[in-house]
């Protein structure tokens, strides 16, 4: 009698582990992954022209958030400045947001955070094809410290 009960408990435990591992593997494979190499498009090579062009650089200053910020709010305001009318792309773990800088170069938008670590990549593109990018890690948690 005890042998049958022990065997039933052992089989149930092993079956539970197999099912749990299957669910964990399926969730891990179904979650989309954004790699930092593929998330930012590579600059295209322009055909050489006879008009000499002056090298211009695009600056990107992010006022908010600061790197390694810890917050208990699920929404974060990303703001900063860059060249006027530049396109700003903000990549998060699960979303891609696009906004434009105003005529003075200022931009601001709200980003939804997931629980835990959130890697934010903020990239600016101007009309000349120049890019500037910055990465930040923001931790969202509702735990009281």
pLDDT surpassing 70 at residue 121 = yes
Q: What pLDDT, on the 0 to 100 scale, is given for residue 31?
A: 67
- 17 lies in which domain range? 1-33
CATH number for the domain that contains residue 115: 2.60.40.10
Residue 51 covered by a domain = no
Domain co-membership, 71 together with 27: no
**Domain assignment of residue 41, yes or no:** no
**Which pTM value belongs to this model?**
0.59
Question: What is the average per-residue pLDDT within 55-66?
Answer: 83
Identify whether residues 66 and 127 lie together within a single domain.
Answer: yes
Given this model, what pLDDT does residue 1 score? 74
Has residue 11 been placed in a domain? yes
Q: Based on the fold, state whether residues 135 and 64 are members of the same structural domain.
A: yes
Residue 101 lies in a domain: yes
SS3 string, the chain, reads: CHHHHHHHHHHHHHHHHHHHHHHHHHHHHHCCCCCHHHHCCCCCCCCCCCCCCCCCCCCCEEEECCCCEEECCCEEEEEEECCCCCEEEEECCCCEEEEECCCCCEEEEEEECCCEEEEEEEEEECCCCCEEEEEEEEEECCCCC
Highest-confidence segment of 3-7, 47-51, 131-135: 131-135
Q: What is the mean pLDDT of residues 108-119?
A: 91
Q: Which of 30-44, 89-103, 117-131 has the lowest mean pLDDT?
A: 30-44
Give the pLDDT of residue 41: 57
């Amino acid at each position: 009698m005890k042998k049958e009960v022990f065997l039933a408990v052992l089989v149930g435990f092993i079956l539970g582990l197999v099912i749990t591992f299957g669910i964990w593997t399926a969730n891990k494979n179904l979650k989309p992954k954004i790699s930092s190499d593929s998330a930012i498009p590579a600059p295209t090579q322009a055909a050489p022209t006879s008009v000499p062009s002056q090298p211009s650089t695009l600056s990107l200053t992010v006022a908010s958030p600061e790197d390694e910020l810890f917050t208990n709010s699920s929404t974060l305001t990303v703001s900063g400045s860059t060249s006027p009318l530049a396109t700003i792309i903000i990549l998060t773990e699960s979303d891609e947001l696009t906004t434009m800088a105003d005529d003075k170069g200022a931009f601001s938008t709200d980003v939804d955070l997931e629980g835990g670590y959130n890697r934010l990549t903020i990239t600016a593109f101007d009309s000349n094809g120049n890019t500037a990018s910055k990465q930040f890690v923001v931790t969202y948690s509702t735990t009281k410290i």
